Structure 1
Amino acid sequence: MNYLAHLLLSEPDPLARLGNLAGDFLKGADVRSLHSTIQRGIALHRQIDTYTDCHPIVRQSKARVEPPYCRLAGVLVDVFYDHFLAVHWQTYGVGTLEEFVQGVYADLQHYQALLPPSLQWALPFMVTGDWLTAYRQVSGIEMILERMAARSRRSPLLASSICVLHHHYSALEQEFHQFFPALKVYVYNQVAILVAKGSGF
């Protein structure tokens, strides 16, 4: 899953959300010195990613990604599923998408000093460009993919990969609806375990 799903599925504590969002920016880092709530967020992020990557419905979605985009299938499905989450926020989210996103931005700005450097740098652009709400529009997904391509020398194909969403929109949307409720149940159980443990590591 991508940013929006990780933020929604996190504990509501701002520090847990910070950890859940920062998970991708801290791969390979020793996080044991961080606040225990941030550690829980990072641990949950990794558990969500592992569960998602191994789930048969997600694998089915990835299999829809045709050449020359096959090696980007994991990234694309993560982003596309965030699009469907934003589109169907009334079903899966909390409050309105706009209210949730503005609350996230406020929390991240409040704790900006605790963010990984690359996320600190990106945060002002995320807020002013309202990246999270942009997931709701296909044009917003296209913009996000183009931005990802600009940051990655290895993945210039990302810039044109919106065609995959256009070609398989209905099937991917149906698979998202099949997968996301199961993910929410899994996360609910994992959060209870992490809270009882006190930290993620």
Structure 2
Amino acid sequence: MNYLAHAFLAGPLSSDRVGGIAGDFVRGPLDPLPAGIGPLLGAGLVLHRRIDAYADTHPAFQRSRTRVSVQRRRVGGIMVDLFYDHFLAVHWRRLAGNLPGESALESFTANTYRLIATHPEPLPPTFCEVFARMAAQDWLASYRDPASVALALDRIGEYRLRQPNQLKGAGEELLENYAGFEEDFMAFLPDALAFAASVQRERFRAQDPGRADMD
């Protein structure tokens, strides 16, 4: 999953949302937590990783990966992550319209940036470098535009992958099979929401065996 989907699936708990956004910037095992990572952020990072693992095995996500062209199949997961952020942004009112104070995508993204900026625990230095640009340019809401998805994929390929850049021009594949990717996303999201909620309930039961649900 990419940034917007992780933030959405994390739910209302601020530390889970921050961990969802920052998760890709922490490498290595989380037990014990790396130096400098507090327990609140750590729990959000664990949720992030479990959601990623769940997505990789979900039939709809796997189906989306097969829709990616053969020459880009190796980076298909990255592409589908960005494509799913696009559909979440496009259908935000329909999928997240009942979120208090966040029924508009821009409200959700503004709140998310605020939660990150005010998080009481230290954040990964590499993430802090990126976060300033993310908030200033509102990356999360920008995924609503296919051109922004295409630009993001080009940049990921340029800065994070070995050459030749297999992600260059990958945004075109979203438009070439738009309905298919959209159908997969709509099948995936309800299951992913249920899974994320189950992980959070599991965590809270472990913290307080007599408490079945979050307050």
Q: TM-score, normalised by structure 1?
A: 0.91
User: CA–CA distance in 1 between the matches of 2:2 and 2:119?
Assistant: 21
User: CA–CA distance in 2 between the matches of 1:141 and 1:166?
Assistant: 11
1:153–1:20 Cα change, 3 Å: closer
Corresponding position of 2:152: 144
Corresponding position of 2:49: 46
User: CA–CA distance in 2 between the matches of 1:152 and 1:35?
Assistant: 27
Matched, 1:117 2:125: yes
Count of aligned positions: 199
User: CA–CA distance in 2 between the matches of 1:67 and 1:27?
Assistant: 29
Name the aligned partner's letter for residue 18 of structure 2. Answer: L
Corresponding position of 1:188: 197
Higher-Rg member (1/2) = 2
Computed over aligned residues only, the root mean square deviation of the Cα atoms, in angstroms, reads 1.9
Matched, 1:10 2:2: no
Q: TM-score, normalised by structure 2?
A: 0.86
User: CA–CA distance in 2 between the matches of 1:35 and 1:16?
Assistant: 12
Name the aligned partner's letter for residue 191 of structure 1. Answer: Q
1:48-97 deviation line (CA, Å, top 9, x unaligned): 01110001111111001113211011111111011101111112223110
1:86-142 deviation line (CA, Å, top 9, x unaligned): 111112223110000000111112238722111100111111111111011101111
> Does the 8 Å CA contact 2:5/2:85 hold for their aligned counterparts?
yes
User: CA–CA distance in 1 between the matches of 2:47 and 2:56?
Assistant: 14
Corresponding position of 2:171: 162
Name the aligned partner's letter for residue 16 of structure 1. Answer: D
- Runs of 4+ with >3 A deviation: none
Consecutive unaligned residues in structure 2, runs of 5 or more: 208-215
- More helix by percentage: 1
Corresponding position of 1:22: 22
1:8-66 deviation line (CA, Å, top 9, x unaligned): 11142322222222221112054626332212211111110111000111111100111
Q: Using CA pairs under 8 Å that are at least 6 residues apart, name the structure with larger relative contact order, 1 or 2.
A: 1
